[in-house]
Amino acid sequence: MNIDPGSHVPIYLQIADAVRAAVAAGVYQPGEPLPSLRAMAVEVHVNPNTVQRAYDELQQAGLVGSQRGRGVFVADRGASVARLAAELGVRRGLEEAVRAAQLAGMDPPQIRDLFGAVLERMTHEGRQSS
Amino acid sequence: MNIDPGSHVPIYLQIADAVRAAVAAGVYQPGEPLPSLRAMAVEVHVNPNTVQRAYDELQQAGLVGSQRGRGVFVADRGASVARLAAELGVRRGLEEAVRAAQLAGMDPPQIRDLFGAVLERMTHEGRQSS
Amino acid sequence: MNIDPGSHVPIYLQIADAVRAAVAAGVYQPGEPLPSLRAMAVEVHVNPNTVQRAYDELQQAGLVGSQRGRGVFVADRGASVARLAAELGVRRGLEEAVRAAQLAGMDPPQIRDLFGAVLERMTHEGRQSS
Amino acid sequence: MNIDPGSHVPIYLQIADAVRAAVAAGVYQPGEPLPSLRAMAVEVHVNPNTVQRAYDELQQAGLVGSQRGRGVFVADRGASVARLAAELGVRRGLEEAVRAAQLAGMDPPQIRDLFGAVLERMTHEGRQSS
DNA sequence: GTGGTCTAGACCACA
DNA sequence: GTGGTCTAGACCACG
C-alpha cells in the first residue's frame, strides 16, 4: 500500500486502485472487511476523509458494500469485478501507450520490440515490488 | 492535432505532447518554426496563453527555442530529444501497465497474452489515426 | 521579500529567486510549507497566478513539491538544491562580469582591483539588508 | 562579435554591448567609422533595423555620432565614455553577485573564496575568448 | 482552505 | 508581426 503524495494522480484514487488490486489479487476475500477508515488513514498517513472518498469510489463500482456501523465489506462479486476492472485498466494503459508510440512515428516492429523488452525485464524473474 | 477539452489531462499538455510527437515524427524539422502562438491558438480553438504554456513546456525540455519577435523554432537536437522523450513516455506507460497487472495478481503468461492481443489488434495493418 | 515591479526582470522570477535564497539560507526548512499562493500574493502585492508561476519554477528545479489541496513544501533535498543553484548563479554572474571586463580591454590587475574594491565595500562589517 | 539569438538579453543590446566593448578596447578608435548598418547586419545575421537600434543606443550614450549619409563614427570622447560605461557595468554585475550571495546566506569568507576562484581560473593564463 | 487550469484582455519589448 | 508578462476572475479537483 504505497501512496505517493507528490503524484499527479489524486491520493483517493491511489488508495482506491491499491484496494482494487488487493481485492483482485485475493488479499481481501469476498465477505471480509476492509481496514476501518481510521486504520487505513493511519496506515497511509492521510486524512480519513480521503480514505472515505476512496471507499466511496469502490462502493460505487460495486466492489464493496458498506454496512452502517459495521464497516465496509468486499462484495460477493467483488473479486470478479476487481479483476475485470484491473484488466480493463491495464488494457487501456496499453492502448494509450501504443497510440502514443504511433503518433511519435514509431514503426510496428519498433513498438513490438519495446513491448517485448519491457515485458522481458519486468516479468522474467518476477520481482513484483508491492 | 486533436485536442480533447474534456480530458482530465490539461490542454496545454495535450498540445505539448502533440507537438512533441510531431517533432519526433519529423513533421517539424530542426531549425523550422512552430506555428505562431496565435496561429496555433486559432487552430486548436484555445486561448493563446494556453498555447504559450505548452510551448514553454517544450522549451524547458530543450525541444524548441524561442526568439522574441521572431518565433519558436525546433532546436538542433530537438528531433532526437523528442524521440527520446517519446520512447521514455511509452516505456513508462508500459511499465505502469505491467506493474498494475502484477499488483492485480495477473500471472506473467496472462500479462504477455494481454500485451500480445493489444499489439496485434492495434498494429496489424496499422491504421494509425493521425 | 522585496519585489520591484519596475524591474526588467519578471516579477515571477524575482519571487522565485527570493524564495530560493530563503531556502538556501534556511528560512524555509525541508518539509516545511511555503506560504500559500494567496498568502504570498497578498504579501508581495501581486496576482496569485504570478506567484504560482514562481512556485512552478521552483518545482521544476526540484526545490519544492506541491500537493494539491495541501500546499507547496520544501523538498527533502531542497536546501542543498537551493544552495547549489545559488552558488551557480553567483558564479555565473561573476564569470559574466570577468568576461565583460576582458572584452572591454581591462587588464587582469585592473579586474582584480575592481573585484577587491567591490568585495571590500560590501562585505566589510557586512550589513546585508535582508 | 558573438550574438546569441536565444539569449534573454535583446539582440540590439548584445550588439551595442559588443561595440561598446570594442571601442573601450580600442578596436574602433575615435574618428573611425563603425561598420555600416548593412555590413554589420550581414556579419551578425540580423535585421538591419536591429543594428540601427543598437547604434541608436550607442549614439544616445554619446559613444558615437552619426553623420547623415556618411555613417556613424566613434566620438572623440567615445573611448573614455566606453571605458567608463564598461567599468560601471562590470561593477554593477559584481554588486549584484555579492548581493545574491548574501541573500543566499553565504558568509563573507565564502564569497571571497568564490570570487578568488573565479578570478584565478579566468585571468591566470588570460585566454580571453573574443 | 489548498493548488491547478483556463480565459479574456491588456500592455510590453523586440524584429 | 512575434513572444512574454501580468491581471482579474472564473471554475475545478482535492484534502
Mean of pLDDT values over C33-58: 98
Tens of pLDDT, residues D66-102: 998 899 999 999 999 999 999 999 999 999 999 999 9
**Where is the domain boundary, A79, A98, A113?**
A79
Q: Is residue C6 part of a domain?
A: no
Q: How confident is the model at residue D125 (pLDDT cuts 50, 70, 90)?
A: low
Q: Is residue C74 part of a domain?
A: yes
In this complex, the answer to whether residue D13 has its CB under 7 A from any atom of chain E, a nucleic strand, is yes
Assess whether A32 and A72 both reside in one domain: yes
Q: Which of D61, D114, D103 is nearest to D83 (CA)?
A: D61
- Interchain CB distance below 8 Å, B68 and D10: yes
For residue A117, the model assigns a pLDDT of: 94
| Contact with chain B for residue A67, Cβ under 8 A | no
- Identify the three-state secondary structure at position B125: coil
Interface subset of D 85-114, CB within 8 angstroms of C: 86-87, 89-91, 93-106, 108, 111-112, 114
Q: Is residue C1 part of a domain?
A: no
Tens of pLDDT, residues C76-108: 999 999 999 999 999 999 999 999 999 999 999
- Interchain CB distance below 8 Å, B104 and A87: yes
- CA of A57 vs chain C CAs: smallest distance (Å): 19
Mean of pLDDT values over B3-30: 97
Assess whether D62 and D43 both reside in one domain: yes
Its pTM surpasses 0.85: yes
Assess whether D115 and D62 both reside in one domain: no
Q: How far apart are CA D50 and CA D101, in angstroms?
A: 35
Q: How confident is the model at residue D130 (pLDDT cuts 50, 70, 90)?
A: very low
In this complex, the answer to whether residue B14 has its CB under 7 A from any atom of chain F, a nucleic strand, is no
- Interchain CB distance below 8 Å, C98 and D122: yes
Q: How confident is the model at residue C54 (pLDDT cuts 50, 70, 90)?
A: very high
Contacts of C66 in chain A (CB under 8 A): 6
Strands, E assignment, C8-128: 64-67, 71-74
Assess whether D58 and D107 both reside in one domain: no
Read off φ and ψ for residue A36, nearest 5 degrees.
-65, 160
| Contact with chain A for residue C65, Cβ under 8 A | yes
C-alpha cell at A88: 480493463
Range of the domain at C103: 90-129
In this complex, the answer to whether residue B17 has its CB under 7 A from any atom of chain F, a nucleic strand, is no
Q: Which of D116, D1, D25 is nearest to C101 (CA)?
A: D25
Q: Is residue A115 part of a domain?
A: yes
Q: Is residue C103 part of a domain?
A: yes
For residue A130, the model assigns a pLDDT of: 47
Give the CATH number, domain containing residue C26: 1.10.10.10
Assess whether B117 and B58 both reside in one domain: no
Mean of pLDDT values over C1-23: 96
Q: How confident is the model at residue C63 (pLDDT cuts 50, 70, 90)?
A: very high
- Interchain CB distance below 8 Å, B67 and D5: yes
Q: Is residue C111 part of a domain?
A: yes
Q: What angle do CA B96, B24, A107 make, to 5 degrees?
A: 70
Q: How far apart are CA C95 and CA D97, in angstroms?
A: 10
Q: Which of B121, B94, D1 is nearest to A119 (CA)?
A: B94
Q: Is residue D1 part of a domain?
A: no
Assess whether B74 and B105 both reside in one domain: no
Q: Is residue B84 part of a domain?
A: no
In this complex, the answer to whether residue B11 has its CB under 7 A from any atom of chain E, a nucleic strand, is yes
Number of domains chain A contains: 2
Assess whether A101 and A69 both reside in one domain: no
Assess whether C57 and C117 both reside in one domain: no
Asked if D15 and D54 count as a contact pair (C-beta separation under 8 A), the reply is yes
Assess whether D75 and D106 both reside in one domain: no
Assess whether D15 and D74 both reside in one domain: yes
Assess whether D56 and D110 both reside in one domain: no
Assess whether A58 and A34 both reside in one domain: yes
